[in-house]
Amino acid sequence: MDVGEKGDLLEHEGKQYRFCCASCKWAFEQNPEQFIKS
């Protein structure tokens, strides 16, 4: 999903991630490894 520059911003381990909504950001914060590809 492309959220562009308007999505909620979060920095994790030196990288910035943007999210389409607060609930997606919250899910990432709970378990980022589930969403980050190795």
Start-to-end CA distance of the chain, whole Å, equals 19
- Give the pLDDT confidence of 3-38 residue by residue, as tens digits: 666 778 999 999 999 998 889 999 999 999 999 886
Provide the whole-model pTM. Answer: 0.74
Residue-wise pLDDT tens digits, 13-22: 999 999 988 8
Take residue 36 and report the two structure tokens written for it.
């980050």
Instruction: List the beta strands (DSSP E) in the chain.
Output: 8-12, 15-19
Residue ranges of alpha helices (H) inside the chain are 22-30
Cβ contacts of residue 6 below 8 Å, gap of 6+?
A: none
